[in-house]
Structure 1
Amino acid sequence: MFFCFALIILASPAAFTDARCDFLAVFNFGASSSDTGGFKAAFPPQRPPYGMTYFGKPVGRASDGRLVIDFIAQGLGLPFLSPYLQSIGSNFTHGANFASSSATILLPNTSLFVIGTSPFYLTVQVNQMKEFRTRVLEISPQGNYLPPKDMTFNKSLYIFDIGQNDFTGMLATVGLEGVKKYFPQMISQLTEKIKMIYNELGGRTFIVFNLGPVGCFPAFLYYLQPHNTSDLDMYGCAISYNNLVLEYNKMLKDRITQTRNQLSDATLVYVDTHAVKLDLFQHPKDHGLVYGTRACCGYGDGEYNYSKEVSCGDTKVIDGKNVTAAACKDPENYVSWDGVHTTDAANKLIALGVLNGSFSDPIFPFSKFCDLKPVG
């Protein structure tokens, strides 16, 4: 099915200071799909070719350029969100980003240095948000790097984009049926954090992204080889994995509806980014792209251009030869950047779908709340 994303953002070109927007700030919680540099501020720096398309250098984003959260900020007329963990060059006047690559909803049961799971899981991120608010209310801002002391946090937008690492991280150890048993716990933890922000921080507007179609990402298709052809759909995506994601998303949507009814004066929106991403993977050419289930940056030049032996940007000795997982020359034609994450081009299209509001339950067109600026 083809979705039209060329929607909106032909709105007012006015600067943010002159434009209407009901949201004074944006606070984001998530993993690598929305981490604007927090993980790389705490751990080893990122290497090229990350950031090549837009920033011209690695900036801690798991993409060749901007992320969905960047395009959303741009559409709202806000600056890109600075990572909470970044001590130099940050500007928190219009919000902060607590997302961390490899982050999970649930408490990690092992070390970052064992399987790569971030210690900054959702509970830690929300605790960081609580500390951030406390400090803002205590400290008189010096310069222009903090929100005004009298900022009302109930006029901010809170975005949650997390859960995929819980899902994929457990697949290898407990399998499809085992992962399903953790769904209630994951969803409960997520909605409890929303209630915490509502009760303790005054948050009133929440956006929750569902999980994307894991079975279409090149990295997971690579690890599933050799394929049982009956488990691949006509677009080359793994049916069993995508069906399980749909089960999670249905449970999440139902719980979001229940939670919405409990928070009478809050706006709690479920956003079906899964539908947007799935359409990009299945019909890339309908959206000006070319490659769906093939990574731009990788090694092997096989069906998925992905290898577990060498990740995007890395160089290793394989069979006595130095090999590098290099980037393609045309990332603007790809949905997948490195096999796990999406490109700048795909992220723009996903953000347009979010800002449009038609993938939201309830319908949540951002143009009702802000004079949207061009996204590009």
Structure 2
Amino acid sequence: MYYFIFFALLFLVPPATLTDAGCDFPAIFNFGDSNSDTGGFWAAFPAQTRPFGMTYFGKPAGRASDGRAVIDFLAQGFGLPFLSPYLQSIGSNFTHGANFATAASTVRLPSTSVFVSGVSPFSLAIQLNQMKEFRTRVLEFSNPQGNNYLPPTDIFSKSLYIFDIGQNDFSGGLASLGIQGVKQYLPQVASQIAWTIKDIYDEVGGRTFMVFNLAPIGCFPAFLTELPHNTSDLDMYGCMMSYNNAVLDYNLMLKDTLSQIRDQLPGATLVYVDTHSVKLELFQHPKDHGLVYATKACCGEGGGDYNFNPHVFCGYSKVIDGKNVSTSACADPQNYVSWDGVHATEAANKILAFGILNGSLFDPPFPLSKYCDLQPIG
């Protein structure tokens, strides 16, 4: 079972490889969408509702899950506090980094309003600008030792920069453009991520980067409900093969694009992180990892194989055909891969975090244990 293999590998690191000083990453700067948002979207727009956060926080906490996101577990593994959203003005502490991710964000600049299509205005280019402004403010208001809320001025070359974005670019146009239509602009998505890394390297001083690839959206309950497909397109695990194959094509292109830009980043570490393989494994063999339900959402409406209603999302109610339709959450999200049809449960996020921390998903190989005194994640 991968869950226990990941856990074991994390703590079977030879002691000689661990540094006495602890982790070399004093901060994390994260760029992304709802998969790694820790409250940015909800700081800018109306407050998140229950049952989000029910498992860990006991209340909505800005995560698109019942509990912690992968970025939360990674911060914990590096011995750092949870990342404060850059857009959250009250209660934030940026001494150990900042999270620029917001739900519904895209790599490409949006051509419509969040109130029309639901796409966040905080695309990757905007998040990059926020990062640059953050650095400017640190250099202006902080000092070599930092202060109560900002990091020391030399933090940027020592930090870890994570990119978990692109899913909305891929999935957003599938219903209207189809797979072939979406594929026309995917090279732009990959190149924009690479260009952003180069910009952070040149302008901010970043030297260590991790880029997550895309998940197998053909297994998501929401897309299984919404996207056109025939039963002949479903594999033995109930996932749509055509969409998953398109994701694989993009992931290969992203990997190749990152390989090409490495030559332009002397002295930097740029790692492609194959989170796709873990997520696909969870959808295909949930019971091997202590889970039960793969392509059925915990929080949703309608029951059935997917428990997803495209007209009313988790945490909301809506009048449909004169009837009030409300979603509800399962009592056992720890048994589900999918929280709300699009995002993972805390249980699935934790398993994925184990895979990242043990370094088994990295290309090229990057032994975190050589640089970091990794902490248990619980």
TM-score tier, shorter chain, comes to: over 0.9
Q: In angstroms, what is the RMSD of aligned CA positions?
A: 1.7
The structural deviation recorded for 1:143 is: 5.3
The aligned counterpart of 2:17 is none
The structural deviation recorded for 1:368 is: 1.5
Selected match of 2:360 from 358, 361, 365: 358
Counterpart mapping for 1:157-196 below 5 A: 157-196=160-199
Stretch of structure 1 that moved more, 237-246 or 256-265: 256-265
The aligned counterpart of 1:368 is 370
Selected match of 1:152 from 152, 155, 174: 155
Note if 1:250 corresponds to 2:244: no
Contact map agreement 2:213 2:275 (CA 8 A) in 1: yes
Q: Which secondary structure does the structure 1 equivalent of 2:98 belong to? A: strand
Superposition misfits of 4+ residues, deviation over 6 angstroms:
none
The structural deviation recorded for 1:180 is: 0.6
Stretch of structure 1 that moved more, 235-244 or 167-176: 167-176
How far, CA to CA, are the matches of 2:195 and 2:308 in structure 1?
Answer: 37
How far, CA to CA, are the matches of 2:361 and 2:193 in structure 1?
Answer: 20
The AA in structure 2 aligned to 1:322 is N
TM-score in terms of structure 2 length: 0.94
Q: Which secondary structure does the structure 1 equivalent of 2:374 belong to? A: coil
Contact map agreement 2:105 2:165 (CA 8 A) in 1: yes
The aligned counterpart of 2:16 is none
Deviations along 1:174-193, one digit per CA (max 9) or x if unpaired, are 11101111111111111000
How far, CA to CA, are the matches of 2:322 and 2:180 in structure 1?
Answer: 40
The AA in structure 1 aligned to 2:214 is L
Counterpart mapping for 1:67-78 below 5 A: 67-78=69-80
Deviations along 1:54-105, one digit per CA (max 9) or x if unpaired, are 0000011100000000000000000000000000010100000000100000
The AA in structure 2 aligned to 1:151 is D
The structural deviation recorded for 1:19 is: 5.1
Contact map agreement 1:11 1:374 (CA 8 A) in 2: no
Deviations along 1:178-217, one digit per CA (max 9) or x if unpaired, are 1111111111111000000000111000000000001000
The AA in structure 2 aligned to 1:232 is L
How far, CA to CA, are the matches of 1:55 and 1:264 in structure 2?
Answer: 41
Deviations along 1:228-282, one digit per CA (max 9) or x if unpaired, are 1110000000000000000000000011111112212110000000001000110
Structure 1 gaps, min length 5: 13-17
**Change beyond 3 A, Cα 1:23–1:143:** closer
Contact map agreement 1:298 1:306 (CA 8 A) in 2: yes
Structure 2 gaps, min length 5: 14-19
**Change beyond 3 A, Cα 1:266–1:139:** same
Q: Which secondary structure does the structure 1 equivalent of 2:55 belong to? A: coil
The structural deviation recorded for 1:310 is: 1.4
How far, CA to CA, are the matches of 1:22 and 1:7 in structure 2?
Answer: 22
The structural deviation recorded for 1:339 is: 0.2
How far, CA to CA, are the matches of 1:297 and 1:19 in structure 2?
Answer: 43
The aligned counterpart of 2:7 is 6
Note if 1:38 corresponds to 2:40: yes
The structural deviation recorded for 1:356 is: 1.0
The AA in structure 1 aligned to 2:82 is F
Stretch of structure 1 that moved more, 259-268 or 190-199: 259-268
The structural deviation recorded for 1:173 is: 2.0
How far, CA to CA, are the matches of 1:289 and 1:95 in structure 2?
Answer: 33
Note if 1:27 corresponds to 2:8: no
Q: Which secondary structure does the structure 2 equivalent of 1:34 belong to? A: coil
TM-score in terms of structure 1 length: 0.95
The structural deviation recorded for 1:318 is: 3.4
How far, CA to CA, are the matches of 1:43 and 1:8 in structure 2?
Answer: 41
How far, CA to CA, are the matches of 1:274 and 1:341 in structure 2?
Answer: 13
The aligned counterpart of 1:202 is 205
Selected match of 2:86 from 80, 84, 87: 84
The aligned counterpart of 1:271 is 273
How far, CA to CA, are the matches of 2:294 and 2:196 in structure 1?
Answer: 34
The aligned counterpart of 1:302 is 304
Contact map agreement 1:11 1:373 (CA 8 A) in 2: no
Contact map agreement 1:7 1:356 (CA 8 A) in 2: no
